Amino acid sequence: MEREVGKEGKYLYPFWDDDYSLGTIYLKHEPIVHAKNICILKFIVQGSKRVCVQNILSEGNLNRGYGTVAFRALIKLSIYNQFEEIFGKIQSDPPAYNIRLRHFFRKNFCEVSDHNFFLKLTHPNEIFLKIKNQQLLEENRYLTSTIERRETELQQVNLELRELKVKLKEAFERKNKEHISLSKLFHRFSK
């Protein structure tokens, strides 16, 4: 699986077990199998064509896009292995988190009901196009926010530079007045 750029502009690397019947996708910041996992997605292949998502663990890393990248890796892996559907239950502890899960699966191209989600993989080219568009939108959001942050930083630096120029000019004028006063004093005593 190829690397992806996450929400924060860092590369993310999905890895998975070779045994697809009880599968796990591991998401890492480094392209090394033994690197720390930042997200784990567990799934089971049911029959020969259906993938059931068991859990997505991204403890301490919410709203950073790690679950999305792991789920996209599952979609790609499922399409490459000619599976027909990804599905699962929406259930969390606490139950209030179910709202976030519904949003997560909708955002990742799934049909969602109160307690279930599924994604038919019968049109892989359309799904790959949706994934590519989603990646481009995320990258655009990251670049836009980076540009805005850098512009704000530049404005702050320019403000500080203007303040320093004023202080430098004032200091120069003080020194210049002192020099003129000393020069007049020197001329008075040198006559």
Within the chain, where are the H helices?
66-80, 98-107, 124-190
DSSP run (H or E) holding 117:
strand 116-120
pTM greater than 0.85 (yes/no):
no
> What pLDDT shows up at residue 1?
66
> What pLDDT shows up at residue 59?
67
pLDDT in tens, the chain (191 residues): 688 888 788 889 999 877 766 789 999 999 988 889 999 999 999 988 999 999 999 867 677 889 999 999 999 999 999 999 999 999 877 777 888 899 999 999 999 998 999 999 999 999 999 999 998 988 898 889 889 999 999 999 999 999 999 888 888 888 777 777 766 666 666 66
Which whole-number Å values give the CA distances from 13 to 35, 74, 75, in the listed order? 10, 13, 15
Calpha distance 82→126 (Å, rounded): 15
Calpha distance 88→158 (Å, rounded): 53
Within 81-123, where are the H helices?
98-107
DSSP codes, 170-191: HHHHHHHHHHHHHHHHHHHHH-
Residue type, 123: H
- Whether the bond between 94 and the residue before it is cis, its omega within 30 degrees of 0, is yes
Contact in structure between 84 and 52 (CB atoms under 8 Å): no
Tokens 């919410």 belong to 62
